[in-house]
Structure 1
Amino acid sequence: MANISALPPDQKRLLVTLQGIVNRTQPRIYLIWRPDDRFWLRQMQKQGQTGTPIRVKQPLSLVRIFRGDIRGAVIPDPKVYISPDIAVDIAAVDRLVVATPALARQLNVPIKVDLRGRFKNDAEALRYLRTRLAPRMNPLLFLCLDPELLADGAEDQIIAARGMTFWVTGPREQRKPGAETAGEKQQIEKLFAATPLDGVVRGFWWNGDGVGLGESEGVKLASEFGKVTVVSNHVHNLSVFSGVRLATLRQKFAPPPPLDRSKVYLSLTVSDGDNLNTWQNFFWRWFKSPYHGKFAVGWAMGPTLIDVAPTLAEWYYRHAGPEDEFIGGVSGIGYIYPSVWAERTDHPHAALQHFYRWTGDYLRRMDMRTFRTHQAFTPDNQDAMQDIAQAAAALPQVRFFMPDYGYAGEQGYHRITYSLPSGQMVFRAATNWTLDKAEEIPYLVQQIRAHVGATRPAFVNVFVLNWAMGMHRLYLLLKALGPGYVDVTPSQLNTLYREAHAAPSVDVRASTGIVIER
């Protein structure tokens, strides 16, 4: 274990590439970037997944300690913006660390590959990745990461698994040396076309306004070629966590409260748990809040967390109570847009069916009863409803669905909450968000009340944007709504809806002649 929080970026980048190479055979290097990294290392110890760590006071001494694991260094070209990404690819293939010339000399590491002057621009560098490096690399694993984030820790597990690292620049990056979005995108399209269905793109397509291809365009591009996006651009030590094996997890489901036909039942479903970073350094503070456990919450979690970081997944399941329920994060097994899934492959319909079967496997492992489908890039609401029905048909074992990343514009309560001919329930998101914290709670209250109107009982999926909220603010939301609104978990919402809309049974009391509907 080494604390690298105070090191300059070039040293951090070198050490995370070393970590990826060394941990390829067995997790041996754990790096401390932030205080939460210490927290998760302690959890590994408590869960019996590792022993007492050996502390290394001088982080760069790791190069000497593990000198036998690496062959030398690769030097990026500062005159080609994405050259550091290509250097990471070469490091993964040839067991090298990414270094500056000065750092290589300081550590007495021979320079094996020097990329200075090798490529004239980003597109040429990506063409080298596609034609020369990719045949030697993992065709199912990619990392889309801004070169400026390569000192932030996300690439260690990608290097360990010989995945392919790349970046596509955005409008604000066109002044960077060698940047040219169209040429970069063309090379990635060719790379995706030449690699198998079901590849996983880690990292993220966006790193700020105008930086990167962008979330919508990036996820769309990956989806068109049958690749899922798993957001993971600010994560650490996954080459350590992924060394743990965990077959299944089990939730603590509780029965719903008795149905009261005068109430509105709400499932507060929190967003962005498909982002692996949220479970590493964001939501654990929510679980330690004094308000955790005081009311019901649905947590959208990316199901691949059970493989990528089982330590984290197990901690949250252990600390969840019956008022917590985990559902599959956005789209299913990973972030996709179903409306364009695999449309640039030969068999898009079969590919989508396979995606949902793949999702079903992980829902079983995570003991999740539903997931949040994503309806982006559907031309209108009718198409969105058809996409939801298609997911339901592919997963008949899933009794209910919670679609949408925020309210999608349907008019009327019965367009938000409805049942399919199969009997499966759909609870579409009834709320959007504002990043103005002072206005967020009144805005949510107004939307909820407007959607349900006078309908009683009513059953509503309240989409909660995690970045604008917290456990105390969720408590204040429920308090603002008042006693006519009841918080329940997603599964409880489904059960209560079914009870409310079931054909009533009749009990004739012979002694009184009273007919009671139940």
Structure 2
Amino acid sequence: MVSRRAFLGTTGLAATGAVAASWFSPTAAPAAAGSGGLSWDRRRLLPRFATARRLQVGDIQHLTGDEQLLLGTLQGAVNRHRPELYFHYDDADKPWLSSIDVPQTVHEDPLELVAAYADRVAGAIVYDPEVRDSINVATTLAGLRGAVVASPELAAAYELPVVDDLRGRFTGQDKVDIYRWQLDELWPQCEHRLLTGLPPTRVVDVEGVTWREVAREAEQIRDESNRDHYTVDVSAELGGEAVYVKFSDGFGNDGWGASVASVSVLADGVEIAAFVPGSPEEEQVLVEGGNSSLGGDGNRFADGGNFFVYRLAPPEGTTTLEVTVDMWNQYVVSATDTAPTRVEPFPHFRDYVVATQAMVVWLDPNGEPGELLSEIFALSEPTTPYLGWFSNDVAGEWGGVDLAATQSVEVLPADFFANGTVLGGVPARISSRRRRAPRTELTDTVYVTMTVGEGDNLQYCQRHMRTLWDNPDRGAAPTNWTISPVLADAAPAIFRYYQETATENDLLVCGPSGAGYTYGGSWPQEDFDAYTDVTGRYLRETGLDLVYAYNNRDDDGWIPMPEWVIDSYRRNTQLGGIMQSWDGGGVIAAGDLPVIGHFNAPGQAVEFKQGLDDYIAQWDGTRPLFVSAGIFAWGWNPTDIAELHQLLAADDRYQVLLGHAFFDLLRRAPNPGPPPPPRPSGQG
């Protein structure tokens, strides 16, 4: 990610592969914005793109963010009319090329495509490097003007005509003012059938940085029992421009990483900094916090592979630097004297934004930014999808999805979804055939079904799910895999791939909470039928008849799905069962459309099995018991699932079933209990 490719001129396209590049001469004149190859059926959430006839392919994963931004917006401007450009943002983009049966030319230097396609765009929208949110405004403008987004340096290097220069346009850095201007000036011209949200910049790791571990909790602790004030000496990192201190998770598989409530810093015994998470004082030193979250107790925590970093700049000549932290749970603290990150434009998904002429924002769902975001949502028709994501990690997710739901908008996580302007035009025959459950006898057994989450997330379906799916142990255990039915629009070939390669032990089920991620209980009741109606259409098209769903939450956690939400699913879909995100298990509703809460346990297979044993400890074996086990997609893989299955199979109390068989028995059970336990609360 740190190399910069030199501008090589406007001729001499180098290529590898079966088709030489010398044939290639894109001479078609630019078409007017809004014309071209998109088609949009009024009953569909997303447009269909034209089918590619020939693709120019380039690996851009080692380019800078500015270069990727330029190529990604070029891709959107070109592919709007007919898909021609396909880029590898990382290795996950390569396998899907096999599903695109058209001639392909692979370019060793994809930056050559800028010059090759220069006459296919109106020119460049130059963003202001001093105002990061101007990258998003430039992206919106690029879609409207048929242009690309470029830094001042790249616009000059490629001699691109400047369509609009945003330098100095926004004198302040208040993002609410910036996006208010965009709403007032650009929204009337934008596509209103979808909304998008992308971070304007990203933090990129600098290669070659060496971290020294200075503190670690050796045990898996999740109950704050080790909370204390810990002092770490980072004097060994003195001598550079600053000292960087990182907090991360010592056990990345269970979600209880380093949690910090306060920090104080002493330089040669004199306090030079003291702050608590979320304060203005912390903001001055927090150089990487996007992968962490603020907890309800005023703490900052980072779980799994996430972390946060503070930059500490002691006075020149300091010989001793000590950091005292109010900290708990599974912490790892490390230090370095080298700036570990840099900030550059966030390039992903911008081809889709430009091609569809959508307006893109990046607004925290809380406070004044949240008020503006709510206003934007309110301008949209019910069931308008919001593609992208929200700031502030988990808190942003909960607040953002909830805010969208209150305005009858569902979310399609898509901020890392790549090449959507190509994949949305690849034809694929998706089977609408639903899988029938085998008719089995109901016995006094603990029935368990295991479901891998995250399937609402388009980029997960494109990226991480493919990695899990390719694990050789997939199929060894009955597993439900959540997937988005909206892939029927966004990437039908991806959906079809999973259908075609599923084993008898793989069952595709709908990801949260249907045709888009949402919290049903937060919708206006008069609009929720519109959501379940469109969900029903996509489920019938894709053959899915089970859904993993969320409901809304309050200060105490998730709320059980109310009857009016269940009734709406019952009226408008052919669902045979709902698994609600719950964390505590239990049957929330019985009958013809049962709802059961997910049971989750921390750790890997052995610890999960122990958690299940504890959960059923009061079961007397005189009636069937049902457990919907949630599998953490970012910490488990099919090998782990197979290990858990072996442990359960060795215990004659348990029987593991696929979801369709599980819910068939649950619908027939006279007393399926137990009811859900009191709502749990976590460190968030």
**Residues 440, 468 of structure 1: 8 Å contact kept:** no
Aligned with residue 128 of structure 1, among 181, 198, 201? 181
Tell me the equivalent position of 1:508.
Answer: none
Long gaps (5+) in structure 1: 45-49, 171-180, 342-347, 503-518
Does the C-alpha gap of structure 1 residues 438 and 254 become closer, same or farther in structure 2, counting only changes over 3 Å? closer
Encode CA deviations 1:164-200: one digit per residue, 9 max, x unaligned.
1110148xxxxxxxxxx74433332222222322211
Aligned with residue 362 of structure 2, among 167, 176, 179? 167
CA distance in 1 between partners of 2:513 and 2:393 (Å): 23
Task: State the shift of 1:237 in Å.
Answer: 0.6
Tell me the equivalent position of 2:625.
Answer: 458
Tell me the equivalent position of 2:533.
Answer: 357
Encode CA deviations 1:387-409: one digit per residue, 9 max, x unaligned.
5533344336323222x2242x5
CA distance in 1 between partners of 2:636 and 2:425 (Å): 33
Say whether 1:305 aligns with 2:487: yes
Counterpart residue type for residue 657 of structure 2: V
Encode CA deviations 1:28-71: one digit per residue, 9 max, x unaligned.
00001212211111232xxxxx3231122221211122122211
**Residues 144, 205 of structure 1: 8 Å contact kept:** yes
Does the C-alpha gap of structure 1 residues 114 and 483 become closer, same or farther in structure 2, counting only changes over 3 Å? same
Counterpart residue type for residue 137 of structure 1: C
Aligned with residue 370 of structure 1, among 540, 546, 558? 546
Counterpart residue type for residue 51 of structure 1: V
Does the C-alpha gap of structure 1 residues 444 and 161 become closer, same or farther in structure 2, counting only changes over 3 Å? farther
Aligned with residue 353 of structure 2, among 124, 145, 158? 158
Aligned with residue 84 of structure 2, among 28, 33, 36? 28
CA distance in 1 between partners of 2:192 and 2:151 (Å): 28
Q: TM-score, normalised by structure 2?
A: 0.64
Say whether 1:110 aligns with 2:161: yes
Task: State the shift of 1:296 in Å.
Answer: 1.1
Task: State the shift of 1:263 in Å.
Answer: 2.7
The within-5 A match list for 1:26-425 is: 26-44=82-100, 50-119=101-170, 120=172, 121-149=174-202, 150-169=345-364, 182-206=367-391, 208=393, 214-246=396-428, 248-250=430-432, 253=435, 255-256=437-438, 258-259=440-441, 261-341=443-523, 348-377=524-553, 384-395=561-572, 397-402=574-579, 404-407=580-583, 409=584, 413=586, 416=587, 418-420=589-591, 423-425=592-594
Encode CA deviations 1:208-235: one digit per residue, 9 max, x unaligned.
47xxx71111111111111111111212
- The sequence identity of aligned pairs, in percent, is 26
Aligned with residue 432 of structure 1, among 594, 600, 606? 600
CA distance in 2 between partners of 1:87 and 1:382 (Å): 40
Q: Secondary structure at the match of 2:476?
A: coil
Does the C-alpha gap of structure 1 residues 203 and 396 become closer, same or farther in structure 2, counting only changes over 3 Å? closer
Long gaps (5+) in structure 2: 1-56, 203-344, 672-684
Task: State the shift of 1:357 in Å.
Answer: 0.6
**Residues 364, 396 of structure 2: 8 Å contact kept:** no
Task: State the shift of 1:305 in Å.
Answer: 1.1
CA distance in 2 between partners of 1:440 and 1:147 (Å): 40
Encode CA deviations 1:321-375: one digit per residue, 9 max, x unaligned.
232211111111111111221xxxxxx3231011111110011011011212212
Aligned with residue 17 of structure 1, among 73, 77, 92? 73
Task: State the shift of 1:124 in Å.
Answer: 1.9
Which has more strand, going by share of residues? 2
CA RMSD, Structure 1 to Structure 2 (Å): 2.5
Counterpart residue type for residue 25 of structure 1: H
Does the C-alpha gap of structure 1 residues 455 and 297 become closer, same or farther in structure 2, counting only changes over 3 Å? farther
Which has more helix, going by share of residues? 1
How many residue pairs get matched? Answer: 468
Aligned with residue 493 of structure 1, among 643, 657, 662? 662
Counterpart residue type for residue 457 of structure 1: P
Tell me the equivalent position of 1:449.
Answer: 616
**Residues 417, 462 of structure 2: 8 Å contact kept:** yes
Task: State the shift of 1:262 in Å.
Answer: 4.1
Does the C-alpha gap of structure 1 residues 475 and 276 become closer, same or farther in structure 2, counting only changes over 3 Å? same
Q: TM-score, normalised by structure 1?
A: 0.84
**Residues 145, 166 of structure 1: 8 Å contact kept:** yes
Task: State the shift of 1:439 in Å.
Answer: 7.1
**Residues 520, 565 of structure 2: 8 Å contact kept:** no
Task: State the shift of 1:493 in Å.
Answer: 0.8
Does the C-alpha gap of structure 1 residues 417 and 130 become closer, same or farther in structure 2, counting only changes over 3 Å? closer
CA distance in 1 between partners of 2:622 and 2:165 (Å): 68
**Residues 581, 597 of structure 2: 8 Å contact kept:** no
More moved, 365-374 vs 251-260? 251-260
**Residues 251, 325 of structure 1: 8 Å contact kept:** no
The within-5 A match list for 1:461-476 is: 461-476=628-643
